[in-house]
């Protein structure tokens, strides 16, 4: 079995694959500082709750945009699973071409999402991740990451509202019943939600227009991706496990490459 870990700015998402089958997935917060022992015990306990035999973990792969936790997280995999994890980064085989001015600037999470969308749904494809930041990446027919757009995530925008405007309260982010809001909370929900929907539709159309590429698929993932995708026909697929699947696919490519060598 394969343990896959995606360390994001807000959450660490964990999955266990038995070949191509995702048999367990979990989330823990990134914000709490943890030692390698704490990470190790948390990871093992989570697997046990799903009746997953820890001793059957054959390998581990990690993508991360949070450098400060990597020493503890990597050490936890070595100490508690006896596995040196594969780290998604420069030089790793992904199948995605990074024709950027500085390829090292492309976050591991975006590479993983690009691999998942391209391998599972084909190219050309726009993959969107509604996480801490909202990201839009265009991958061409031949697997080239052609363009990247980065926006504040919905929660970042919401936090800015209630932290910087004294009279605005902290609210639940959701799709309100109507945009015709008559109270403060609903007006904030309408602005955040429909603002994100409008942004999504515009950026998709702009990417299609400026790239000149026809028949581009659109795939979304991320915690708030589901409610956004349900509100627009511009998003064709919502895949909540896209990042975990992308990690599995990268691992398979690395494994094949190691066998050849």
Catalogue the active-site residues: 109
Q: Is 95 helix (H, G, I), strand (E, B) or coil?
A: coil
Return the structure tokens found at 43.
């990871």
d(CA 215, CA 115): 19
Q: CA triplet 161, 163, 166: central angle to 5 degrees? A: 90
| Pairing mode of beta strands 133-139, 217-221 | unpaired
The Cα–Cα gap between 53 and 44 comes to 9
Distances (CA, A) of 176 to 170, 186, 235: 15, 6, 20
Neighbouring residues of 3: CB distance < 8 A, sequence distance ≥ 6: 14, 15, 16, 43, 57, 59, 60, 61, 77, 81, 83
Give SS3 for 211.
helix
- Report the distance separating Cα 165 and Cα 130, nearest Å: 24
Q: Which of 27, 229, 202, 222 is nearest to 132 (CA)?
A: 222
């Amino acid at each position: 079995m394969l343990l896959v870990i995606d360390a994001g700015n807000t959450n660490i998402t964990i999955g266990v694959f038995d070949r191509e089958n995702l048999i367990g997935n979990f989330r823990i917060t990134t914000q709490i500082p943890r030692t390698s022992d704490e990470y190790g015990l948390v990871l093992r306990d989570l697997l046990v709750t799903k009746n997953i035999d820890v001793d059957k973990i054959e390998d581990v792969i990690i993508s991360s945009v949070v450098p400060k936790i990597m020493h503890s997280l990597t050490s936890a995999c070595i100490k508690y699973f006896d596995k040196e994890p594969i780290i998604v980064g420069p030089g790793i085989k992904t199948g995605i071409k990074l024709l950027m001015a500085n390829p090292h600037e492309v976050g591991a999470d975006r590479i993983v999402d690009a691999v998942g969308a391209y391998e599972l749904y084909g190219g050309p494809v726009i993959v969107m991740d509604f996480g801490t930041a909202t990201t839009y990446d265009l991958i061409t027919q031949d697997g080239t990451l052609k363009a990247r757009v980065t926006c504040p995530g919905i929660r970042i925008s919401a936090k800015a509202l209630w932290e910087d405007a004294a009279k605005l309260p902290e609210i639940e982010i959701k799709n309100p019943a109507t945009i015709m809001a008559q109270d403060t909370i609903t007006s904030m929900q309408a602005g955040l939600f429909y603002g994100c929907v409008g942004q999504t539709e515009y950026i998709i159309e702009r990417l299609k227009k400026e790239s000149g590429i026809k028949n581009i698929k659109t795939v979304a993932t991320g915690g708030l991706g589901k409610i956004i995708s349900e509100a627009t026909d511009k998003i064709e697929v919502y895949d909540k496990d896209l990042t975990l699947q992308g990690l599995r696919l990268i691992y398979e490519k690395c494994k094949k490459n190691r066998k050849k060598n």
